Amino acid sequence: MGKLRAGVVTPLLAVAVLAASVAACGGGGSDATNAGASSGAAQPAEKIKLTVALFSDFHFAPIYEEFKKTHPNVEIVERRAQFNDHHKNLTTQLATGAGAADVEAVEAGYIAQFTPLADKFYDLNEYGLTKRQGDYLDWKWKQGLSPDGSKLLGLGTDVGGLAMCYRTDLFKKAGLPTDRAEVSQLWPTWEQYMEAGKKFVAAKVDGAKWFDGPGENFRAMVDQAPVGFYDQQNNLVAGTNPDVKKAFDLNAAMVQADESAKLAAFSPPWNTGLTKGSFATIICPAWKLGSIKDAAPTTSGKWDVAAVPGGGGGNQGGTHLMAPKQGKHPKEAAELIDLLTSKDNQLKLFTEAGALPSIPALYDDPTITGFKNPFFSDAPTGKIFTDAAKALKPQYVGPKAGDVLTTFGNALQRIEQGKQSPDEAWAQALKDLERIK
């Protein structure tokens, strides 16, 4: 559910998903939006349509049916676009005043681009959702606020604690260990991950490379750093941050070592590569488990989940749901957002789609802590990702972080395509950053 896609990655991600790939009780309910009911509210007999714009399958369909039980006059229409296209579309729609959905998903890499546009979105505080604050991770709640903190513009769905997914069948063919604990010991650092990749390449496993493409790994490395693309004063520091340069150089080196399958995450060739076994490892925020399962259902049992290189930590992706003022039914939109993000539904979406809740009380719920994912060789993903979430130290996300990530992703892609050397690609990336303000 939170994923930077299309060319770079994402998109969550994801969600993820980007992932992945949530009234009722414990923090969400149908009475949530009595406040403000007179503003744009439909009459009981009036038939209305709510549109929900997403950038992947968030597995919301059963929740829509739940919503319609208490809102029989509401039709819900979901539309999806590729990750980068979705966010570009929303930018255009807000600027032109037309085309935005009633409910829009905004991924973590873009949230700081939209929250300053507080006048373009309904304040969910006015529809009773202030009560949800106690549910959330403090940093996740604050991400959905206007810059001055006075307006609630979005409620969080999930967060993207990191792990590494790997193909046990391909590891076996390469003579590498397949036990998840032993695999985790292969790569305490990203440099050791690269060295393990060299062994995999040397084994010449037919049709397979070490990882899908460098964009996802680059993002994970940057996400683990204390400071990413921006400092907390919204200064763009990507070009001078040594952690960004280190992540770029290491991924460029892995590309030149022939470890990359040269597949952009979430593209059609990437989906095919998942099924064919075109790469042995893939950076896995929690939501991406659902993305892998959806894209390659025939690979069940061939995957497992190990620790992420670099000592853990880092958050990749995660999403907020927002209600643009172009929508004519803010009360119903707010009620739907409330239900989609409720404690019960965040719990369901973890077990069904791998979306790690942004409600910390659930991290001790035995439904999550004891959960083993059968698709991923019964890996204890509940414990893996809740441990990651508890250790997570969120990084400040600046207003154009998504565009910055795209810039570096494009630079790494030029290296993959043989169009530029690493030094040339980095130099062009710095020039391209000058246009991002």
Residue 196 pLDDT exceeds 50: yes
CA distance 302 to 204: 19
Residues 231 and 298 in one domain: yes
Tokens standing for 110?
């873009």
pLDDT per position as a tens digit, 346-393: 999 999 888 999 999 999 999 999 999 999 999 999 999 988 888 777
What number is the average pLDDT over the span 109-114?
93
Q: Is residue 231 part of a domain?
A: yes
Asked if 256 and 422 touch (Cβ cutoff 8 Å), the reply is yes
Residues 261 and 348 in one domain: no
Name the percent of the chain lying above pLDDT 90: 80
Q: Is residue 350 part of a domain?
A: yes
Q: Among 28, 11, 58, 52, which Cα is nearest to 329's?
A: 52
pLDDT per position as a tens digit, 214-272: 999 999 999 999 999 999 999 999 999 999 999 999 999 999 999 999 999 888 999 99
Q: Is residue 43 part of a domain?
A: no
pLDDT per position as a tens digit, 305-341: 999 999 867 788 899 999 999 999 999 999 999 999 9
Residues 343 and 310 in one domain: no
Asked if 277 and 207 touch (Cβ cutoff 8 Å), the reply is yes
Residues 229 and 179 in one domain: yes
Residue 24 pLDDT exceeds 50: no
Residue 14's pLDDT band (boundaries 50, 70, 90)?
very low
Angle at 391 between CA 386 and CA 393, to 5 degrees: 125
Q: Residue 187 contacts by C-beta under 8 Å, 6 or more apart in sequence?
A: 164, 193, 196, 307, 309
- DSSP state letters, 318-333: -EEEE-BTT-S-HHHH
Q: How many domains does the chain have?
A: 2
Q: What are phi and psi of 396, to 5 degrees?
A: -65, 135
Residues 300 and 246 in one domain: yes
Residues 229 and 355 in one domain: no
pLDDT per position as a tens digit, 117-132: 999 999 999 999 999 9
**How high is the mean pLDDT of the chain?**
89
Can you give the CATH number for the domain in which 220 is found? Answer: 3.40.190.10
Residues 305 and 209 in one domain: yes
Q: Among 187, 159, 383, 157, which Cα is nearest to 285's?
A: 159
Selected residue with higher pLDDT from 431 and 45: 431
What number is the average pLDDT over the span 297-311?
95
Q: What is the pLDDT of residue 390?
A: 81
Residues 85 and 131 in one domain: yes
Asked if 110 and 401 touch (Cβ cutoff 8 Å), the reply is yes
pTM here? Answer: 0.83
Picking from 35-44, 66-75, 146-155, 307-316, which range would have the lowest pLDDT averaged per residue? 35-44
Q: Is residue 274 part of a domain?
A: yes
Tokens standing for 10?
């994402």
Q: Is residue 144 part of a domain?
A: yes
Residue 5 pLDDT exceeds 60: no
Q: Which residue, 387, 406, 422, sits at the end of a domain?
A: 387
Tokens standing for 210?
């070490």
Q: What is the pLDDT of residue 43?
A: 52
Residues 380 and 415 in one domain: no
Q: Is residue 6 part of a domain?
A: no
Residue 201's pLDDT band (boundaries 50, 70, 90)?
very high
Q: What is the pLDDT of residue 94?
A: 98
Other CB atoms within 10 A of residue 203 CB: 15
357 has which bridge partners? 158
What number is the average pLDDT over the span 285-311?
94
CA distance 181 to 300: 20
Residues 371 and 230 in one domain: no
Q: What is the pLDDT of residue 315?
A: 82
Tokens standing for 300?
């069940």
Residues 277 and 177 in one domain: yes
Asked if 152 and 160 touch (Cβ cutoff 8 Å), the reply is no
Residues 129 and 209 in one domain: no
Identify the domain containing residue 208 by its residue range. 162-315+396-433
Q: Is residue 349 part of a domain?
A: yes
How, if at all, do strands 48-54 and 103-107 pair? parallel
Asked if 109 and 397 touch (Cβ cutoff 8 Å), the reply is yes
Q: Is residue 191 part of a domain?
A: yes
pLDDT per position as a tens digit, 139-174: 999 999 999 999 999 999 999 889 999 999 999 999
CA distance 361 to 366: 11
